[in-house]
Structure 1
Amino acid sequence: MTRRLTGGKRLFPVDGASDGAGPSRAPAPDNPIPSIEDDVYTVTETTASRSPTPSISVSDPSEAEPGGPEPASPRGAAERDAGSETESLPDRLQWLRLRNSTSSSASTGLGLGSLRAALPSAEPGRRSQTPNLLLPDASPAASPGGRRRRSSSMGQRRYDVRDEAPPQDRFHEPAFQQGLAEAQTLMSRLAGVLGSSTLHLEPDSSMKGLQERADELANFRCPPTRTVGLVGDSGVGKSSLLNSLLDYRNLARTSNGGAACTCVVTEYYHHDRGDFVVDVDLFSEEELEQQLRDLVHAYRHNHFHSAEMDLPDDRRHWAKRAKLAKDTFRAMFADRFRTALLRSENSEDTIVQTYLNWAMDLRPINEFDGRTVTDSLEDCSSLLIRLTSDLDGAEGPGCWPYIKKIRVYLDAHILSKGLVLVDLPGLRDLNSARRNITERYLHQCDEIFVVCPIGRATTDEGVQHLIELARQAKWSNVGIICTKSDDIRADEAQTDWAGAQATEVQRLRGSVAEADQQLAALTELLVDPDGLEDMTVEEELEQAQLLVQCERARGEIESRRFELQRYLITTRNDKVEARLLAKYRGKIPGGNLHVFCASNTLYWEKRDSRPLGVTIQFLELSGIIPIRRHCMGLVSQNQLRIATKYLRDDIPNLLSKVELWVQTGAGTADAEKKRAVREALDQLEGQLRRSLDGVTSPLNNLGRKLTDAFQETLYRRRKISRWTEGAIQAGQVWSGVPTYAAFCRNYGTYNTSAAGYHCWNEEAMRSMNDDLADPWERLETEIQRQLDAGQTFVSETLDGAVAFHLGNALDSFLDTVGPLRTALQSGNRLHVRAIEDLCETFETDLSKLRTDALSGLRTSYFGQSMETTYWNAICEAGKGSWDRKKAIINGALRREALFRELMQKLKRKFEDLATQLETDARAAVGEYLDGVKNSLDMVRSENVALESERDPEFRTRVAKELERVKRRMEHHEF
């Protein structure tokens, strides 16, 4: 059956054809760039003996020979659009067949399939090979034999996030990764050999410990070491950004269905399985009680006192809080909730207790106690929506008001090297508990990105708020991600921009319009289908050539559209980045502000297009790949350190102990020499224990030394009266602020058009910070000196003791000296690294302590002390409320106990950190000395010798495998 196309002079409609395109016409939305190598088709060779008088007919595509099945889409792949209004020229060409004019039944391929095969690839950034007479700036057509087509399988390839180029650093170098993988394989094989006898099954055998350690090393994985937090107001595209970075379409919820639901802290971790695991942490009873108390008070204050509020802003503030309370209660209690109880004459304590009883009865502790495993992306997404969305009242209470944190485990490439991504509630959330959780969590993040739409990036209040927090907290790890970078119109850009940029936009738009017109002109030359029957062979071939030229013109249109889109996006991105850096970089400690622009829409529209060469340019333009590469690069340095320790210390330490076990069974020394060896090793162990665990060990009084330094350098310099006077003066300045109530509503932190940004907490603490800034710097210097001295002592003590005692006494065991020395030296390095890690953790904790003690953040010590004060001031309404608000604030600032209690809290926390450091250091010493004893026992213990001698065949297998592992490890440079 043959289907004929009728109507008009064009053979078929053409995507992108212009109906009078001109320079002022905005470009049409991007369509996936067509590829002539997408689909599988047959190229039939032609010969002189084939039909001499062919003619053209167009077959119904349903009758065409079916091609291969559509390849399975990868995770996150979109379904191919089935409802396209027009079909591509290559597809139409595929239906063309040349038939013998003398035989209607004999269909012979004259090679029109090869015309389609010869069509040039229309990749963005590469000019289509349309003839010069039609597109003057296009490159000439390629000769038939001058271009070798890529295989159709290449055209079928889709984008795979795992193929992205990794960050350019040592850890991600292929040679290093290959060596790391081979080392794990070697450890797995060694563990198998060590377990090939029954010795490892005996509880007290040394082989049992060696086999277990080899198994541990075979399963080595770099732990999560870097956390990136994403924070932003509702609707800025944060969840969509997470989906793009994780490369899972529609995983994270992209809109809030519940009026009261903002979100909960959601952490994304890696696991290497195909399923998804969701782990839920619920609020404790005490945490729920505090939230209920705040919500009950907010609703009742609005209900009973809204008429007394003089300021419209006050009324709006309390109305919002009341709505938040009502929506939250409805979500928590479903059909149980009625507003009558809130409006009753019962005391707030009574109402809170009633609600708390309900909450403890209804919270989903049984349903979500532990981990929930889902097998598919859809099931996981549905579960997350259930956890974070309001349910219909008939379905029961919602979960989100009870949830403190959610952990999601999935096989996402961005997480595979140790990164943790965190979706955080907004910093301006009306729910104080969730807002404070976010601020506290930011202390733990290795990098923080605030997300905002690109259209309002330089004025976004969420960005301004985070930058100010970073300035106060001295965070140097802050960045900005602007979403919706593709939301830009060419006509508006041409109008808004000036000079060369506007001229370039005009040129690119004109280029697109010209290509549209040329394609329209080409299609006009295509004859009516009714005339195909009367054509000569030459005319039919001319029509086929026109089809080829149409396809080239179509590719040229797409190429030019991409050039226009790329210019618009990159130019606007550069402008926004420059403005953000100019405005905020000076406020970030160190001036290191990362700015990225991204389009989640562009990423998902193009992610599953083909061929891969076309797709990747769009994905780079979307900005998602650069952000993903940056985030993965954050883990590299720490992961390199951990992996290098594994390769240089952990594995050699085990290999040396295995070699000691082998050599001990082959020993021939007499009893007198063995006695001398045991005495020397006993002396070595004794010296190490005295030096590291004795009374004079620097590690045993490290906590006291650090505490003394804190007392002398910082604590004794407190000036409570002076600091209180400074706070009182700050409060008097605030009393003249016309937006006093607004500052109270925002807990002292507010931004006004007239006065700019102010943080009352920071201003009240200014005298204190002025007095303690230099002492704190001296304290950090003294602490660093002592920590360095402790690390140097440990390193020198270990190396000196080993060098001194492994001397003449071991001459009788020459084969044993080498592996024993290696075992002890690798153990020394492991111990030194452990102490270094403890000191690094202490320094990080000390930096966080400084933020808590000396910043004006709402969650700082000072901010928490003022929390109730601000709340009481907010609740004042009616006649005289203005004066009462001031009295409440100023009264709190006059209390000398405010700064005295702050310093006492700082002192207690510092002492806790110092004590914990000493405790952990002593535990590390104990673990190290146990390892030393274990290594020495390999040589001096008769039981080990007897164990090694018991099964000579097994010992030989172990020795051979040991040599093989050592040879393979020497091939790699770590």
Structure 2
Amino acid sequence: MARRRVLQPRGPSRNACSSRVPGSDTPIPSIEKDGPIDADDRSSARSPTPSISVDTPDNDDSSSEAPDPSFPNSSSPSPGQGDAGSIGDRLQDLRLTSPFWPGAFALDNLRAALPSAGTSSRSQTPLLLLPSASPGSSGGHRRRRSSSVNPEPYDVRQERPPQDRFHDPEFQQAFAHATSLMARLAGVLGSSTLHLEPDSTMKTLRDRADALAHFRCPPTRTVALVGDSGVGKSSLLNSLLDFRNLARTSNGGSACTCVVTEYRHHDRADFAVEVVLFTEAELTEQLRKMVQAYRHNFFYADQMSNEDRNHSADQATLACDTLKAMFADRFTTAFLENNRTRTVVETLMNWAMDLRPARYMQGNDVAESLEDCSNLLMRLTSDRGAAQGGPAAWPYIKKIRVFLNAYILSRGLVLVDLPGLRDLNSARRNITERYLLECDEIFAVCPIGRAMTDEGVKSVCDLARQTGLSNVSIICTKSDEIRVDEAQRDWEGAQARELRRLTVALATAEQDSANIRDELDDLRDLEDISEEDEILRGRLYEELERKNRDIERRKFERQRYMITTRNTLVQSNLRDLYRDTIPGGDLHVFCASNTLYWENRDLRPQHKAAPFLELSGIVTIRKHCMSLVSQRQLRIATQYLQGDIPGLLGDIELWVQTGAGTADAEKKRAVREALDRFGNSLREELVGNASPLSDLTGELTNVFREHVYQRRQIREWTEGAIQAGQVWSSRRLATYAAFCRQYGTHTTDAAGYHCWNEEAMGTINHDLADPWDRFQSNVNRQLDDATAFVSETLDRAISRNLANALQEFPEPIRPLWVALKSRKRILAGALEDLCASFSAELSKLRTDALSGLRTAYFGQSMEQAYWNANLKSGRGSWERKKAVINEALRDEQLFANMMRKLKRTFEELAAKLDTDALALVEEHLGSIDGTLDMVRSENVALESERDPEFRTRVGNEVDGLNEAMDPILAAVGHA
């Protein structure tokens, strides 16, 4: 006889949840639990079969929480579809396993039980899941019968831009419209054969229009990512660029051999890679130090203290590995051990000139695909890239530039991957330090789990303190790596209670899902399936699907709460920790998960991916990076709209008028003479002997001597350095040796943090810091006066002299006035940029002169002394180390040479500014002459007269463009 079962009314049951919901002291399984759950786990997950109601989905319990509309799979199923076919279709959309219930519900068994489901031909793309990600989020094979959601893949270009003026939609629309107008203008100017004549004015005008039609804001901001190996920089770069696996990591998760790598934009689908090699002098110095490091360890290791021996062994291993990579089978350690240092270095340098990759690294390598580019970068930056038994490329490479069409780079950003400041390779470490001084934003990258103690972050913040850099931010990676049990154990108060509430709610939902599966198992075991059982089974499937979506939502809610709560705590703690280190105290801290980003990046539809991508933090960091370029790009774009375009239109209008003019020869001659006088007068005022621009070098040098150079006190500064050295000499041998190994900047438990270079420079900083600030203020004031002089001179010349010169000839006045005003705006902006660049160079010069950085003047002067001290070992080595350092500090030439170098460098900067400023003014005076030639040149008039129909067409186009530009300029004014 067939078994029948009696259905009990469904409702709360004493054992429905009580046996599954953990108490407050029960450990909760980690949401990051990896690997399969064993048989014991599966058996313990079962519970007694609950009663179940047969209410329709429309009569679902009103007390249950509404699904989160922003969460994937939160939409409700279509009710009332109980036939076998619809059940089978819906089974295709079910997530039937989870990290907590593996194998609990087999799709094959369901298909066998429901023949109407048939064999599906849908894609079986493997599901990429975070341990804590939405279990129902698939790569694209889930489908509902009725869906209005967007099935398109995620497009990073659709992310909301930063909320600033440059990214304002009205401004961007105005900018795009203006470029399209210039493309149209270029087409009109090219509609005659005049532009085909090489020396024609129309060719120049048409080329200018074409250039404006293709105008793009140039790179203006450089953002560096710096951190120790293995912190996730490469993965972070891939996420920000939105190119999976471009910058590869090793199998162990750490970065491949690190080379400075710049990522720059180009508007093509392929990838271009440009390599910059070390110079011969740089290679020689590196080889010399590697040979000395290896030989010192080989010959003297047994005479060293334990700490010195470990440090020496690390340096020797690094040297040996690098030399093996450079020279492959040519290199043997015996060669280093059995020959003199000088002979070894000369031989290695000859090998380097023979083997270095310069012979096949000419220009850019172009890779057509992402995989090809990734493989090329791997060959360039790791030993695996070398041919079998051949030399590697990376030891010879100073910098790599990668050009690609990445959205984050499209607005003028350059992303740079840098070695850490604690890199054992001193050449690459020093490159990083110098590079950071040039960057507009610095991201110190570290794993979130050790953010408060990460030495890489500390080294970047120390650099900021020493140099006054205020553009340092921190990115904590691996923000998704958080366990429920650890969070519940570590958190207190409201945070712990909320996490417990979310965990209980999830466990309850999972228990309900398990109960439904048990009911379905019982139905499947029946020997005879009645019509009533079929209906019940359909209802159970629908309820199971709703419950699984609820589980997904609750998992995500708990994950989001844990990640955001931990992120907030870490951000607050880091800001407190480095509040007094970063100038200004405004430290940005971001948290990111590359795992969350990539495992959900390609979900379909887009709204499924959005919550996870926001939670990953990558979208926020990308938006922050793009906002860094906004101010500068706004200036460039505004100059384009308000200066370049009106200037061109004014010149074209003059070209049209010149050909259509009716003035007789006498009047034309008078116009030419008036414009000649105007041009000559303007040139004399701007670059003549009486111009403030005529001797910028002398004026700025006088200010430097008065405020800085004449205040040098070499004897007193040397005495201060000697006293600092005596303080260091009083410390224990181990501490003294440790500071020597770190080139004076180190932290120990006994001594704390010290920078010997800073301490030795205490007296010079006391004497010159304030005078330098006054000097730089004075220089900035002089530069402002020079810029104002140029702007006022042009205004006066255009507004007064031009009108006086052409008072009897009003026809060309308006377009000439417009064109020259545009020229004035462009010149004034270019001078401001030039002066701002000079001021930035002065700030870097101050860092070189007065900071204790290893690559600054004092640090470079002491570099060899630290190196020589580190080579001292054996009995009495402490005294010999002290003698080396103290002798260097006693040398009065140390500070005398520094001041001479400072003076020479400043004079070179001032002379370059002088030259660049005069060249800039001359260039723009040439452009002004070109505008004047539109009126005074006989050749221009003859050219314009040759094709009256074309001239009329151009004139009409210019009139229309002037009208079209009015609303664009209005939008620019208030965007």
With the shorter chain as reference, the TM-score category is 0.7 to 0.9
SS of 1:734's equivalent in the other structure is helix
Question: Would the aligned equivalents of 1:734 and 1:740 in 2 still touch at CA under 8 Å?
Answer: yes
Q: Which moved more, 1:497-506 or 1:384-393?
A: 384-393
Distance 1:97 1:308, change over 3 A: closer
Asked if residue 913 in structure 1 is aligned to residue 913 in structure 2, the reply is no
Aligned partners of 1:19, 1:385: CA distance in 2, in Å? 54
Q: What's 1:706 paired with?
A: 700
Aligned to 1:288: 283
CA gap of 1:957–1:749, structure 2 versus 1, over 3 A, is same
CA distance in 1 between partners of 2:422 and 2:792 (Å): 52
User: 2:531 aligned with 1:493, yes or no?
Assistant: no
Does residue 376 (structure 1) correspond to residue 369 (structure 2)? The answer is yes
Residues 279-337 of structure 1 show CA distances to partners (whole Å, capped at 9, x for unaligned) of 1111121111111111011000000000111x211000010111111111111111111
Distance 2:564 2:846 in 1: 40
Offset at 1:491?
Answer: 0.8
Q: How many Å separate the matches in 1 of 2:133 and 2:376?
A: 43
2: CA distance, partners of 1:618 / 1:865: 51
Alignment of 1:844-863 (within 5 A): 844-863=840-859
Whether the 8 Å CA contact 1:390–1:398 is kept in 2: the answer is yes
Q: 1:482 to 1:319 in 2, by over 3 A?
A: same
Give yes or no for the alignment of 1:244 onto 2:239: yes
What is the match of residue 893 of structure 1? 889
Aligned 8 A contact 2:72 2:609 in 1: no
User: Which secondary structure does the structure 1 equivalent of 2:361 belong to?
Assistant: coil
In structure 2, the residue matched to 1:435 is 429
The residue that corresponds to 1:968 in the other structure is 964
Output the CA distance in 2 between the equivalents of 1:355 and 1:962: 66
Q: Following TM superposition, by how much is the alpha carbon of 1:358 offset from its aligned partner in structure 2, in angstroms? A: 1.1
Structure-2 separation of matches of 1:747 and 1:809: 68
Amino acid of the structure 2 residue aligned with 1:967: E
Q: Is the 8 A contact 2:523 2:533 kept in 1?
A: no
* Equivalent AA in structure 1 for residue 400 of structure 2: I
Contact persistence 1:245–1:414 (CA under 8 A): yes
Counterpart AA for 1:604: W
Code of the residue aligned with 2:73 in structure 1: it is S
1:273-672 matched pairs, under 5 angstroms? 273-309=268-304, 311-344=305-338, 346-391=339-384, 394-528=388-522, 530=524, 534-672=528-666
Instruction: Name 2:73's counterpart in structure 1.
Output: 35
Alpha-carbon deviation of 1:33? 7.9
Q: 1:527 to 1:502 in 2, by over 3 A?
A: closer
1:133-174 deviations in whole A, cap 9, x for unaligned?
Answer: xxxxxxxxxxxxxxxx99636253332211111101111122
Q: Structure 1 residues 212, 19: closer, same or farther in 2, change over 3 A? A: farther
Partner of 1:184: 179
Cα contact 1:681–1:805 (8 A) shared by 2: no
Cα distance, 1:365 vs. partner? 1.4
* Aligned 8 A contact 1:18 1:516 in 2: no
Name the residue aligned to 1:692: 686
Instruction: Tell me if structure 1 keeps the 8 A contact 2:294–2:316.
Output: yes
In structure 1, give the amino acid aligned to 2:550. Answer: E
Question: Retained in 1: the 8 A contact 2:231–2:254?
Answer: no
Q: Which amino acid aligns with 1:838?
A: L
How far is 1:417 from its partner? 0.5
* Cα distance in 1, alignment partners of residues 929 and 547 from structure 2: 79
Unaligned runs of 5+ in 1: 1-16, 47-52, 67-79, 100-106, 109-123, 129-148
Aligned to 2:773: 777
Any conservation in 2 of the 1:741–1:874 contact (CA below 8 Å)? yes
Q: 1:929 aligns with which of 925, 933, 951?
A: 925
Per-residue deviation at 1:840? 0.5
Question: Closer, same or farther in 2 for the Cα pair 1:902/1:19, shift >3 Å?
Answer: farther
Relative distance call for 1:213 and 1:571 in structure 2 (3 A) is: same
Give the CA deviation at 1:599. 1.0
Write the distance in 2 (CA, Å) between the matches of 1:232 and 1:396: 30
Indicate conservation of the 8 Å contact 2:226/2:444, yes or no: yes
What code does the residue aligned with 1:454 have? I
Number of aligned residues: 889
SS at match of 2:810: helix
The aligned counterpart of 2:59 is none
SS at match of 2:398: strand
Are 2:259 and 2:400, in contact at CA under 8 Å, matched by a contact in 1?
Answer: yes
The corresponding residue for 1:143 is none
Report the CA distance shift for 1:943/1:299 in structure 2 as closer, same or farther (over 3 A).
same
Which of 223, 227, 230 is the matching residue for 2:222? 227
- Write the distance in 2 (CA, Å) between the matches of 1:390 and 1:343: 24
Q: Which residue of 1 aligns with 2:129?
A: none
Which secondary structure state, in structure 2, belongs to the residue aligned with residue 152 of structure 1? coil
Q: Structure 2: how far apart are the matches of 1:850 and 1:659? A: 50
What is the aligned partner in structure 2 of residue 725 from structure 1?
719
Q: 2:262 aligns with which of 263, 267, 270?
A: 267
Q: Aligned partners of 2:492, 2:80: CA distance in 1, in Å?
A: 56
- Kindly indicate whether the alpha-carbon contact (under 8 Å) linking 2:600 and 2:609 is maintained by their aligned counterparts in 1: yes
Hey, what does 1:14 align to over in structure 2? none
Contact 2:709 2:903 in 1 (8 A): yes
TM-score by length of 2: 0.87
Alpha-carbon distance in structure 1 between the residues aligned to 2:84 and 2:704: 96
The root-mean-square deviation of aligned C-alpha atoms, in Å, is 3.1
Per-residue CA deviation, residues 863-884 of structure 1 (Å, 9 max, x unaligned), is 0000000000000000110000
Q: Is the 8 A contact 1:747 1:858 kept in 2?
A: yes
SS at match of 1:526: helix
**CA 242–87 in structure 1, closer or farther in 2 if over 3 Å, else same:** farther
CA contact (8 A) 1:684 1:805 kept: yes
Partners of 1:598 and 1:745 in 2: CA distance: 34
Matched-pair contact (CA < 8 Å) for 1:235–1:255: no
CA deviation after TM superposition for structure 1 residue 714, in Å: 1.1
Task: Give the CA deviation at 1:585.
Answer: 2.0
Query: For structure 1, which segment, 610-619 or 698-707, has the greater mean C-alpha deviation from structure 2 after superposition?
Result: 610-619
Partner of 1:159: 154
Q: Name the aligned partner's letter for residue 362 of structure 2.
A: D
> Is structure 2 residue 29 aligned with structure 1 residue 26?
yes
1:755-834 alignment, distance < 5 Å = 755-807=751-803, 809-834=805-830
Q: Distance in 2 between matches of 1:964 and 1:278?
A: 44
How big is the shift at 1:199? 1.7
Q: Distance in 1 between matches of 2:967 and 2:104?
A: 57
Structure 2 CA distance for partners of 1:406 and 1:680, relative to 1, 3 Å: same
- The TM-score, its normalising length taken from structure 1, stands at 0.87
Q: Which residue of 1 aligns with 2:141?
A: none
Residue aligned with 2:816, SS: helix
Deviations 1:872-898 (A, max 9, x none): 000000011000000110111011111
Counterpart position of 1:675: 669
Paired amino acid for 2:28? R
The answer on whether the counterparts of 1:55 and 1:536 sit within 8 Å (CA) in structure 2 is no
Q: Indicate yes or no: 2:864 matched with 1:868.
A: yes
User: Does residue 215 of structure 1 match 2:199?
Assistant: no
Q: 1:954 is aligned with what amino acid? A: F
Shift of 1:670: 2.3
Give the structure 1 partner of residue 195 of structure 2: 200
Q: Which amino acid aligns with 1:366?
A: R
Give the whole-Å Cα distance in 1 for the aligned partners of 2:111 and 2:848: 70
